[in-house]
Amino acid sequence: QVQLQESGPGLVKPSQTLSLTCTVSGGSISSGSYYWSWIRQPAGKGLEWIGRIYTSGSTNYNPSLKSRVTISVDTSKNQFSLKLSSVTAADTAVYYCAREDYDILTGYYFDYWGQGTLVTVSS
């Protein structure tokens, strides 16, 4: 059973960089044809896709966040990471990591999610 766990600071100051790591257990991050994704959810609001990375290092980012987002992968540690620069209060949210699977018959879908971690941007 694949499990994902987010970790990182729960409080970040405005204008600084938010950094989170997702640790994958129960399987190798390098095996299969999966994308590893970050998704966030401000309190009381909907889900927002941030971006994803393939184990080859190929990335796709939400156009609205692209200038501030970097997602990287460390296969030796079975982890992938999110960096979001120049944060403001609007970046306060629960951040989820998730695995995205793909099948030619069914398309893409997020089949495993972390429990989420709250990041607050405040001085």
Nearer to other proteins, 90 or 123 (CB): 90
Pick the closer one to other proteins by CB: 30 or 64: 64
In angstroms, give the least distance from the CB of 85 to other proteins.
Answer: 20
| Interacting residues toward other proteins by CB under 8 A | 37, 39, 46-49, 52, 60-63, 96, 100, 103, 105-111, 113-116
Residue with smaller CB distance to other proteins, 39 or 73: 39
Min CB(82)–other proteins separation in Å: 15
DSSP H/E element including 19: strand 18-25
SS3 68: helix
Nearer to other proteins, 16 or 101 (CB): 101
1 secondary structure, DSSP code = -
Q: Which residue has the tokens 């994704």?
A: 37
Of 103, 102, 101, 104, the C-alpha closest to 112 is 101
CB of 115 to other proteins, least distance (A): 6
- Tally Cβ neighbours within 10 Å of residue 118: 13
The closest alpha carbon to 115, from 101, 97, 100, 93, belongs to: 97
Please report how close the Cβ of residue 45 comes to other proteins at its closest, in angstroms. 8
